[in-house]
Structure 1
Amino acid sequence: MNVQNITQQYLKLFPGDFSGNTIQRQTPKVLFSTVKPVGFQNPELILFNDQLSEEIGLGSFTETDLDFLVGNRLSDSIQTYATAYAGHQFGNWAGQLGDGRAIYAGEITNAEGKITEIQWKGAGATPYSRFADGRAVLRSSVREYLISEAMHHLGVPTTRALSLCFTGEEVVRDMMYDGNPEAEKGAVIIRTAESFLRFGHFELLSAQKETATLQALADFAIKNYFKEIDENSPKKYHEFFQKIVKNTADLMVAWFRVGFVHGVMNTDNMSILGLSIDYGPFSMMDDFDLNFTPNTTDLPGRRYAFGKQPQIAQWNLWQLANALFPLIKDAEFLEQTLDDFSQYFWQKHDRMMADKFGFEELLEEDANFFQHWQEMMIRLRMDYTLFFHWLEKPHEEREVSRFLQEVSYLRYEPKHEEDLRNFLGLYEKRIGENTFSKEQSLALMRKNNPKFILRNYLLYECIEDLNNGNKEKLYQLLDALQSPYEEKHPEFSRKRPEEYDGTPGCSQLSCSS
């Protein structure tokens, strides 16, 4: 694995603190601080993503690469650092935040010239750790590795995971923040992205009135990640913001398509490239519920519930607009662009739903159809993914009582059959308005409706097994998530078992990691 050609563009272009001091503190007027991974005596490789490594230009793994994967004994050519950013957390301004558990190795360029940023997560404290230790536990590390790869194969923009390792040490965490801390196995992942730039990087500079550095960061982002924008255009910052708005709306549609709930959509967890980033108390949705949040920290307000995610994305974009105002200086443009977010999102959303149902054209009356479907899904507590899997079956194979038993989380009652039959009648009438064939309709549905999603109960079982030294479930899930639109592992295509209702780390999650 070639790790010699790693560079650090960030360190050359922006003001930083090169002291290497990891004491948690405010670092005004700098965008990064150099830090070193803490180092681990007895690391052990759990997973390595060979395909991703080849794609980004690192090549094949050898046993000598284990040190790099956990940040041990790095070559002198690799200067490691953490970045500073700010943000709004749960709607409140939190001031300076930053990479509390992430340490950058830098950027690597593959044979095609594509640049990928690489960072460790869980490799030790930084100035931005906010009185924490910078470590990560196995529980959260497994979840991030698997969900980021699952999202990639689902076709949802995301950061990706290169490796997952035991650190050989234990880390104390209070998983549910209820006064019961326990020692857990420590772990480190390496994650990758075209860029980890967040809304919060721009918010920090704007709040500190560092307008020159704010402009330099925007220019850097345009040059490297928005090459379609003319760097010499007087409207380049306008276009920059418009692109971020579109990226964000597209991401929200993608999350809705597969039933993903992020759980903590703070502005510091929002990517300017529209990537799913910072996987914490996330969940793939089981029964369809617009008010569902997996994050106990988000109760009782449910600010980041499934159905509120587009609204929160727009709110977050307002905060980014405020941050970029010193560059754009056009309040009317910003307001119009943010108003356009809703229209663009709902157009894309309705087309996405039409694809899931196998509709060739989006008709005006489909808005009422989708509303009727939502209400039925909520009444009958239907599993979101399994519902569309069943809908793909031939009409004669959709035995309604069995449908309800396998797809609904309600205890079966005969009245539920009538409710479902009424909807299926509406669906058959609507699908009959297609002009293309049933085969084409089915192909459209299969392309947009996954058969496998990485449910929290599966992750819970996998983590329990790993803590007991058993990796079989881990490898099975890794195989299943690489082909989510095929039913390679039908044993995973079932609703959440009742015994996991209310289980900490499964149905209920916190930000602890």
Structure 2
Amino acid sequence: MTLAIPFDNSYARMPAGFYTRLAPTPVRAPRLLAFNTALATELGLTDIPDPATLAAIFSGNTLPEGATPLAQVYAGHQFGGFSPQLGDGRAILLGEVTAPDGTRRDIQLKGSGPTPYSRMGDGRAWLGPVLREYVVSEAMHGLGIPTTRALAAVATGEEIAREAMLPGAILTRVAASHIRVGTFQYFFARRDAGALRDLFDHVRARHYPDTDTPEDLLEAVIARQARLVAQWMSVGFIHGVMNTDNTTVSGETIDYGPCAFMDQYHPATVYSSIDRQGRYAFQNQPGIITWNLAQFASCLVPLMPDQDAAVARFTEMIHAVPDRVSAEWLDLYRAKLGLASRREEDERLITDLLALMANDGADFTNTFRALGTPAARDQFTDRAAFDAWAERWLARSEGEADRSGRMSRANPAFIPRNHRIEQMIEAAVAGDMAPFERLMQVLARPYEDQPETEDLTRPPLPGEEVQATFCGT
């Protein structure tokens, strides 16, 4: 028995300049490590075959009927520098499925071998980044934040050369699409107005059917990205590599390379080993998404009948992005404090707490989860200062209905902590998938107290801290 995937591949029907058709490179000995049965059900995939068959499919050794494998081309600003051609250097889009709920999803193999866009790379991935992305993307889904998903992870039975010889693996990623700001930039840089129009029409039909004009599309993408970045900030998430080629037009989080969730709160926190200037630090993410959206807006100008008027209007829209992110952020942080109503003093109340947390190195997740209990006070060395803040907070929140319920729904008990991910990867390399499976079970219900797994709420001990995260290419 094989896996029946009801493909309907709209991107493969785009002009040939949008991609290169090629099949995944076969691997030596594929072995299924993980399969997301719940996601498969959401996609409408039934009659799941045995693990060996799944491994053959999701390693790329066996192409399911209806697949039209291709690598997408795009450009992008990487740390502010423009690369006119990037593309899927180690990924193959198998095709698209329309789920029972009517949503269209890409199914992509990541780590499936070299493509014309590999730029001298081997097109492969090693086990660590594959499992990191699997865990973190599914954790983001559990947190209610738009994200790509993980359908399967397969060991390849091959070793790949990185800083050492490491076990190879392939991730099957599911996304609303893999169209990025950088996809628009690729054709904009080539002054290919026809391709830009084709891409605009495709994105509008696929993601924003209620829009009519490029201005409508820009507004819709701004709204989703402003909300997304505020959601990241509300759970202490740092993307780590917010290049324009890692910014989706669908508004989903994509490309979990040097990402991380903060332990101790500090707004300037950086984990990415390649972000030496702190361009993508936690506190800089609202500014960076504004910059990325400005690049997107530039790509839409040629599609407007009056380009001078479009530049003026789009500039106005981009200048409003920081305030839009801030408004989303403020509402999310109000919920973290149990506040449903809005008052002018709320922003000061929130920022004062964050300043206390930064001064004392309080754990971001545990502090917010514990607010209203004695455990919150234990996060601070300057307890008198926290007590004074808490008195203000209690006075402000008096009379707020369902304060505790709102807080428990806004403040997760569990996040994929960096040291736990590293421990999980180390175990998996040694052949033990139990820590991976445990993380997956717990992170599927991050807002629920799970006393039997309370150890996963613990910040890293001395010697367990993760100082840097890596792209995994």
- Counterpart residue identity of residue 206, structure 1: F
1:511 aligns with 2:471: yes
Counterpart for residue 226 of structure 1: 208
1:427 paired residue number:
390
Equivalent in 351, 359, 380 of residue 379 of structure 1 = 359
Pairs within 5 Å for 1:61-100: 61-63=48-50, 64-75=53-64, 77-100=66-89
Contact 1:50 1:60 in 2 (8 A): no
Q: Which of 191, 200, 207 is the matching residue for 2:189?
A: 207
Q: Any residues of structure 2 matched to 1:50-69 within 5 Å, and which? A: 50-63=37-50, 64-69=53-58
Q: Provide the residue aligned with 1:479 in structure 2.
A: 441
Instruction: Determine the structure 2 residue equivalent to 1:496.
Output: 460
Find the partner of 2:253 among 276, 284, 304.
276
CA distance in 2, matches of 1:146, 1:512: 15
Map Cα deviations across residues 63-110 of structure 1 (whole Å, 9 max, x no partner). 223211111122563221000000000001111000111100011123
Match of 2:403 among 427, 441, 445: 441
60 and 458 in structure 1: CA distance in 2 versus 1, 3 angstrom threshold: farther
Deviation at 1:195, TM superposition (A): 1.1
Query: Once the two structures are superposed, what CA deviation does each residue of 1:195-238 show, in whole Å capped at 9, x if it has no partner?
Result: 111000000000001101101110111011102224xxxxx110
Partner of 1:43: 30
Alignment correspondent of 1:286: 263
Kept in 2, the 8 Å contact 1:166–1:185? The answer is: yes
**Which residues in structure 2 correspond to 1:68-467 (within 5 Å)?**
68-75=57-64, 77-173=66-162, 181-230=163-212, 236-299=213-276, 301-328=277-304, 329=307, 330-393=310-373, 397-398=374-375, 400=377, 403-404=378-379, 416=381, 419-436=382-399, 440-467=402-429
Superposed CA offset, 1:10-68 (max 9, x none): 22222x2xxxxxxxxxxxxx110011111112111110000100111222421223211
TM-score by length of 1: 0.88
C-alpha distance in 1, partners of 2:237/2:397?
29
Q: Kindly indicate whether the alpha-carbon contact (under 8 Å) linking 1:143 and 1:459 is maintained by their aligned counterparts in 2.
A: yes
Gaps of 5+ in 2: none
In structure 2, distance between residues paired with 1:399 and 1:80:
51
Structure 1 residue runs of 4 or more that deviate by more than 4 Å after TM superposition: none
CA RMSD of aligned residues (A): 1.6
CA contact (8 A) 1:350 1:362 kept: no
Residue 435 of structure 1: how far off its partner (Å): 5.0
Q: Check conservation: 1:291, 1:307, Cα contact below 8 A.
A: yes
Give 3-state SS (helix, strand or coil) of 2:396's partner.
coil
Aligned pair in 2 of structure 1 residues 213, 477: CA closer, same or farther (>3 Å)?
A: same
**What is the CA–CA distance in structure 2 between the aligned matches of 1:374 and 1:5, rounded to whole Å?**
48
1:356 touches 1:388 (CA, 8 Å); kept in 2? Answer: yes
Question: Contact conserved, 2:93 with 2:107, CA < 8 A, in 1?
Answer: yes
SS at match of 2:122: coil
The equivalent of 2:21 in structure 1 is: 34
Matched position secondary structure for 1:168: strand
Which residue of structure 2 lines up, in the alignment, with residue 24 of structure 1? Answer: none
In 2, are the aligned partners of 1:43 and 1:168 still within 8 Å (CA)? yes
- The 1-side partners of 2:207 and 2:234 are apart by 26
TM norm structure 2:
0.95
Distance in 2 separating the partners of 1:146 and 1:277: 13
| Counterpart residue number, 2:9 | 8
Secondary structure in 2 matching 1:386: helix
Identical positions, percent: 33
Check the 8 A contact 1:321/1:334 in 2, yes or no.
Answer: yes
Q: Secondary structure at the match of 1:133?
A: coil
8 Å contact kept, 2:185–2:299: yes
How far apart are residue 187 of structure 1 and its match?
0.2
Q: Is the 8 A contact 1:38 1:125 kept in 2?
A: yes
Retained in 2: the 8 A contact 1:456–1:507? no
Q: Distance in 2 between matches of 1:398 and 1:145?
A: 32
For 1:375, give the aligned amino acid: A
Q: CA deviation at 1:367?
A: 2.3
- CA–CA separation in structure 2 for the residues paired with 1:440 and 1:203: 46
What is the aligned length?
464
1:422 Cα offset (Å): 2.2
AA of the residue aligned to 1:350: L
2-side partners of 1:50 and 1:463: how far apart?
22
